[in-house]
Amino acid sequence: MGLHVNDLTGRKRILVIIPAYNEERSLPKVIAGIRKFPGIDIVVINDGSKDDTSAAARNAGVNVIDLPFNLGIGGAVQTGYLFAFKNGYDVAVQVDADGQHNPGDLLKITGPVIDGAADMVVGSRYIESTGYKTPLARKLGMLIFSAVVSFINGQPLHDTTSGYRAVSKRVIQFFVDNYPTDYPEVEALVLLKRNGFTIQEVPVTMAHRVHGESSITPVKSVYYMIKVLLALFMNLLRAAKKEA
Amino acid sequence: MRIDIFFFSALFSFGFLVVVLEFVRSKKLKEQYSLLWLLIGGIMIVLALWRELLNKVASLLGIYYAPSLLFMVGILFSFALILHYSVIISRLHTQNVRLAQEVGVLNKKVEDLSNRVNGRKSFENDFVDPV
């Protein structure tokens, strides 16, 4: 890449947040992929892993925050936002540790946030055909979420469960005090919109996970549907937060 | 006084009140969480001893067997108390998550500072953060 790093990041300080639970095998490759963009900091949130996730991240030479016990994806990601806020970062990017997010799309996702075009950018695998094959049952669930969130937000959103997203400094601050703990991705979209933040979706390519298992098993998916839909409904009944 | 269900209800409620007060005295139970227990203990004693009141309230509610009013009051109160605890657990959960997050971030900061003091480089993008 011939561009200087400051041309890419617009002299903004960018932090990549990687929540990781038992991802020692896929993590080094994910970190190496992000490392191709110099000037972007990385923090791995080790969410009480039982394997050597922490050592794997430390060996790669990135910031590591070890949580004392497992908080779940929402609590782990929020730790990253807390770290970003305390260290004054301008842009934060969430990247999954399982390797399904392509680091090559990093600038595509941060671009609109750096330019001030959007407060949050979601990397979506549904906008164009990007080579991701989804299982049918999962597809149906995703379609329901997409329809509900698009309706509530009054804006078409296709991939509401994508964990590949970039946010602005204002959103970082907002997320420090307002982030759902359990299956947070879908709810965060409604939460942000209702508090006056703008959301943009950009197409990305996603791979199937290489190692480990998805955190969502068939049994959990029913709970997932009900919990998220209830959370969305409750968001509608709440007034917008004052600090936003 | 007859040895019947009313007697046992009153006796049990009285013993219950004594236990709750003892827990508060020995600081095993916080005052704010004891108030609901004391309230229900008091209500149960009054209903058990004052039979005319219990019979009157029961007949007003269309309950033919008056002591079942005691059960109903007890069960309704139990539901309310359990819900109360769910709310408290939710709050503790939120606080617990934030504590774990702060501990994680603070540990990271301590690690960085200790590395800096000992002249070890901690990580790649070692910007100078305000201590």
Indicate yes or no: CB of A79 within 8 angstroms of CB of B101: yes
Question: Among A21, A32, A5, A2, which residue's Cα sits nearest to residue A102?
Answer: A32
For residue A231, what are its two tokens?
């959370």
pLDDT in tens, A85-112: 999 999 999 999 998 899 999 999 999 9
Say what the pLDDT of residue B32 is.
84
**pTM reported for the whole predicted model:** 0.82
Say what the pLDDT of residue A237 is.
86
Min CA distance, A91 vs chain B (Å)? Answer: 16
Give the separation between CA A25 and CA B105, rounded to whole angstroms. Answer: 24
**Domain residues of chain A, as ranges?**
5-237
Amino acid present at A112? P
Number of H helices, E strands in chain B: 4, 0
Task: Please list the residues that pair with A41 across neighbouring strands.
Answer: A15
Disruptive mutation site among A34, A67, A90, A181 for chain B (greatest number of B CBs within 10 Å): A67
Cβ atoms of A95 and B131 closer than 8 Å: no
pLDDT in tens, A5-31: 455 566 789 999 999 999 999 999 999
Q: What is the ipTM of this complex?
A: 0.84
Q: At what angle do helices B51-60 and B67-117 cross, to 10 degrees?
A: 90
Q: Which fold has domain A5-237?
A: Spore Coat Polysaccharide Biosynthesis Protein SpsA; Chain A (3.90.550)
Please, which residues have CB within 8 angstroms of residue A201's CB and are 6 or more apart in sequence?
Answer: A121, A122, A124, A127, A157, A158, A159
Look-up: residue for tokens 């005090």? A177
Indicate yes or no: CB of B100 within 8 angstroms of CB of A87: no
Amino acid present at A224? Y
Question: Among A23, A240, A229, A86, which residue's Cα sits nearest to residue A144?
Answer: A229
Q: Which of B101, B125, B127 minimises the CB distance to A75? A: B101
Q: Does residue B126 belong to any structural domain of this protein?
A: no
pLDDT in tens, B13-51: 899 999 999 999 999 998 888 888 898 888 888 888 888
Indicate yes or no: CB of A61 within 8 angstroms of CB of B97: no
Indicate yes or no: CB of A71 within 8 angstroms of CB of B123: no
Q: Does residue B36 belong to any structural domain of this protein?
A: yes
Residue in chain A lying closest to B129 (CA): A87
Say what the pLDDT of residue A10 is.
62
Indicate yes or no: CB of A67 within 8 angstroms of CB of B129: no
